[in-house]
Amino acid sequence: MPELLIRRAALADADVLADLGRRTFVETFGHLYPAQDLTDFLRDAYGPARTLRDLGDPAKAAWLAEIDGTAIGYALAGPCDLPHAEVTPTCGELKRLYLLAAHQGAGVGERLFRTALDWLAETREGDTWIGVWSQNHGAQRFYRRHGFTVAGRYAFPVGRTLDQELILRRGRHNHAVHANGQA
């Protein structure tokens, strides 16, 4: 049976993380955008410079999920920068949580999610926030099971395309949620 490892990503993982970020975004959402919008977004959001900045920022953390040494998913967390009036400097955000499609539904996403949220609980004193595409109903159900509620909306640019995103929030007191979504 293949062995799953979830580990904190380091600067040396920048190329792997950038490649995985591009692959999972294209696999999940690539069909939604004009080619140039997608190309521009991937260059800016998952390019080497951005990935190195994220990995080098002590206020952020990234984790890789690997099976037998091959990266299959990742999470990125840090200070919240979502456009909501109630976000404070003490708030944290799950910025990215992606898995290759072939590995979804096996609990890997849950483990990455919990790893990132545990880190946010240790390093941030405020609420936890997540931005999620308004049409990603599966992700919304997952986050609702873990105590997140809709707190707002905003437009997220992918090139010149503006996606409607939901802003989700979970109060600090809701951190202890069990695997079945019950407190």
Q: What tens digit of pLDDT does each residue of 74-96 get? A: 999 999 999 999 999 999 999 99
Q: How does residue 180 score in pLDDT terms, banded at 50, 70 and 90?
A: very low
Q: What Å distances lie between residue 31 and 16, 21, 24, 148, 162, CA to CA?
A: 23, 16, 12, 28, 15
Mean pLDDT of 14-33: 93
Does 178 have pLDDT greater than 50?
A: no
Q: How long a stretch of residues is the chain?
A: 183
- Residue 79's closest CA among 92, 64, 68, 62? 92
Q: What would the DSSP string read from start to end of 113-182?
A: HHHHHHHHHHH--S-EEEEEETT-HHHHHHHHHTT-EEEEEEEEEETTEEEEEEEEEE-GGG----TTS-
Longest dimension (CA), the chain: 47
List, in order of start, the domains of the chain with CATH numbers. Answer: 4-127 (3.40.630.30)
Instruction: State pTM to two decimals.
Output: 0.89
